[in-house]
C-alpha cells in the first residue's frame, strides 16, 4: 500500500514481465533511480536480490519503510509515548515559555455547551467558514491562536529557493515553508516531530514514524483543499478556501496505515547483497557515480526522470525541510532553466548515468530502461545516448498506463511508457 504521496509513475507493474524473462531467482537486480520503490518491490516478490539507489533521501525513506514494514509491537509502544503528551509548550510574544493542554489548540465550544477537539477548520481567506467536530451542533465558538511561537525546531527560515538565489519553478504566493502552516499547526507539528525524535525505539520503527509524519504534512498545511485529496497541484500555493487539519488526528490515521504494511525484506549491507547473504540494500547515491564493482549486476530495471515533467527535489523540500534531509539539487538530473539546467545538461547527465549502468552490468545481460515521453526528437536523442553508452537496443516497447501526472501534463489519462530493452555486448 502507499503510505505517502510520491510523484511519478508506478513502473513496478510493467517491470515484472521483464524481470521474469531476463533474470532468474536469486540473481541481482539494480534500480539506479529507485523512487518510491515499485520496481524493487516487484523484484523482491519474484525472489530476486535487489539494489535500490536514489539521490533523493525522501524517496529512499518511503521505499525502505514500505519494503521493511513495521514491528507492530514496537510501533504501538512508540505511538503510546507520542500520544501520551497532554501539555503543549510554546513561546509567547515576550519570549517566555508557557504550556496549555493539547486539546486546547483545536478546542471548540458547541451550541449545546460541550467542549470538543475539532477535526479541521475550513478557511475562506482569513476567516473560518466551517468547523468539523464530533457533534451535531451547527454552531461552534473558537479562539484564533496568534502572537505565539513554537518552542521546538521547525523550518522557520527555509526559503523556496535554489542555491543560486532563484525562487522555485513551482511556487506561488509564498516564499518560505513556514508560511504554508498556521501558527497552531507549526506548534503542534514541531511538538510531534520532537517527540518522534525523542522516543526510545529501534531505527526501523523510527523511520516508519518519520514517514507517518511526512504523510500528514500536506494535509496539515494551508495547501490542502477539503476535497482535494493528496497533493495533486504541482506547486507551493495556498487556495483561498482550504482545510486546516488537526495534526494529531492525522497522525493517528497515519499510524493505522503503517500497521497494514507487511514487510517484504529487511535491508542488509551492500556487500552482503553482492555476495548473496541479504536480499535488498538501499543506497543514497548519485546515479552517475555508483559505488558498485564493474560487471556485478545481473539485470538493470530503472525508470529515469523525464526532462522537466516532475521537479522531484522541489516538491520534496516540504518534507525534507522538516526532517532535516539534505537535498543535493546540483546532481539532480532534471530540466530546470532557473537552475541553469537545460536539455543539453540533462542529456549530458543522462549519458553519465547510462555509462555507469553499462559499467556495472555483467556482459550479455539486459537493462530495461523506461521513459515517459511523447516527444520523438527527445526520444531519438535518448536512443543515441543509450547506444553511446555501449548498449545494443534489442527492441522498444510501448506500454499505456493510467497515472496522475505532475507538471504540464497534470491530467488523468492513458500515457505511453516507452520501454527500451537493452543488452550489454
Span 132-151, pLDDT tens digits: 888 877 667 777 677 899 99
What integer is the mean pLDDT of 170-195? Answer: 95
407, 169 Cβ separation under 8 angstroms: no
What integer is the mean pLDDT of 17-24? Answer: 97
pLDDT of residue 138: 67
Partnered with residue 50 across adjacent β-strands are 29, 280
From residue 372, give the alpha-carbon distance in Å to each of 54, 303, 307, 369, 381.
18, 9, 10, 10, 14
Distance of CA 117 to the CA centre of its chain: 30
Specify the fold of 12-69+266-424.
Answer: Rossmann fold (3.40.50)
DSSP 104: G
Buried b / exposed e along 189-217 (16+ C-beta atoms within 10 A): bbbbbbbbeebebeebbebbbbbbbbbbb
Angle 185-190-196 (CA atoms, 0-180°, nearest 5)? Answer: 125
pLDDT of residue 413: 41
Give the cell for residue 338.
532557473
What's the sign of the alpha-carbon dihedral 246, 77, 193, 93? positive
Span 277-335, pLDDT tens digits: 999 999 999 999 999 999 999 999 999 998 888 899 999 999 999 999 999 999 999 99
Closest CA to 281 of 295, 265, 297, 294: 265
Partnered with residue 124 across adjacent β-strands are 127, 241
pLDDT of residue 1: 59
Span 382-413, pLDDT tens digits: 999 999 999 999 999 888 765 544 444 444 34
Please state which of the ranges 105-119, 201-215, 243-257 shows the lowest mean pLDDT: 105-119
Taking the complete model, does pTM exceed 0.85, yes or no?
A: yes
Q: Break the chain into its structural domains and give their ranges.
A: 12-69+266-424, 73-258
Q: How confident is the model at residue 5 (pLDDT cuts 50, 70, 90)?
A: confident
Mode of pairing for the β-strands spanning 148-150 and 115-117: unpaired
Give the cell for residue 12.
513496478
Amino acid at each position: 500500500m502507499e503510505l505517502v504521496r510520491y510523484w511519478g509513475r508506478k513502473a513496478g507493474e510493467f517491470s515484472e514481465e521483464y524481470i521474469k524473462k531476463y533474470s532468474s531467482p536469486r540473481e541481482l537486480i539494480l534500480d539506479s533511480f529507485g523512487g518510491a520503490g515499485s520496481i524493487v518491490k516487484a523484484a523482491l516478490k519474484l525472489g530476486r536480490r535487489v539494489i535500490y539507489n536514489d539521490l533523493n533521501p525522501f524517496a529512499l525513506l518511503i521505499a525502505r519503510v514500505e519494503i521493511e514494514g513495521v514491528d507492530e509491537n514496537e510501533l504501538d509502544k512508540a505511538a503510546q509515548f507520542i500520544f501520551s503528551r497532554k501539555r503543549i509548550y510554546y513561546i509567547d510574544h515576550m519570549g517566555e515559555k508557557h504550556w496549555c493542554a493539547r486539546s486546547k489548540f483545536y478546542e471548540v465550544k458547541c451550541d449545546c455547551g460541550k467542549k470538543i477537539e475539532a477535526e479541521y477548520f475550513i478557511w475562506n481567506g482569513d476567516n473560518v467558514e466551517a468547523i468539523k467536530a464530533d457533534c451535531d451542533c451547527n454552531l461552534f465558538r473558537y479562539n484564533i491562536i496568534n502572537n505565539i511561537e513554537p518552542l521546538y525546531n521547525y523550518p522557520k527560515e527555509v526559503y523556496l529557493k535554489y542555491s543560486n538565489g532563484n525562487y522555485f519553478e513551482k511556487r506561488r504566493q509564498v516564499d518560505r515553508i513556514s508560511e504554508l502552516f498556521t501558527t497552531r499547526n507549526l506548534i503542534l507539528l514541531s511538538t510531534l516531530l520532537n517527540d518522534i525524535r525523542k522516543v526510545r525505539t529501534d531505527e526501523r520503527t523510527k523511520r516508519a514514524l518519520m514517514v507517518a509524519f511526512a504523510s500528514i504534512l500536506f494535509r496539515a498545511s494551508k495547501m490542502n483543499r477539503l476535497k482535494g485529496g493528496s497533493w495533486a497541484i504541482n506547486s507551493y500555493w495556498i487556495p483561498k478556501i482550504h482545510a486546516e487539519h488537526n495534526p494529531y488526528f492525522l497522525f493517528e490515521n497515519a499510524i493505522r496505515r503503517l500497521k497494514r504494511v507487511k514487510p517484504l525484506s529487511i535491508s542488509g549491507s551492500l556487500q552482503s547483497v553482492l555476495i548473496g547473504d541479504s536480499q535488498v540494500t538501499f543506497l543514497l547515491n548519485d546515479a552517475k557515480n555508483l559505488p558498485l564493482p564493474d560487471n556485478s549486476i545481473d539485470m538493470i530495471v530503472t525508470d529515469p526522470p523525464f526532462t522537466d515533467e516532475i521537479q522531484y527535489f522541489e516538491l520534496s523540500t516540504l518534507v525534507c525541510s522538516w526532517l532535516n534531509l539534505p537535498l543535493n539539487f546540483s546532481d539532480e538530473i532534471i530540466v530546470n532553466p532557473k537552475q541553469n539546467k537545460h536539455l543539453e545538461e540533462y542529456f549530458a547527465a543522462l549519458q553519465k548515468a547510462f555509462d555507469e549502468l553499462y559499467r556495472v552490468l555483467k556482459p550479455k545481460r539486459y537493462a530495461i530502461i523506461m521513459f515517459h515521453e511523447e516527444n520523438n526528437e527527445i526520444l531519438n536523442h535518448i536512443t543515441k545516448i543509450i547506444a553511446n553508452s555501449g548498449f545494443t537496443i534489442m527492441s522498444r516497447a510501448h506500454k499505456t498506463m493510467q497515472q496522475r501526472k505532475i507538471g504540464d501534463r497534470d491530467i488523468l489519462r492513458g500515457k505511453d511508457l516507452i520501454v527500451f530493452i537493452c543488452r550489454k555486448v
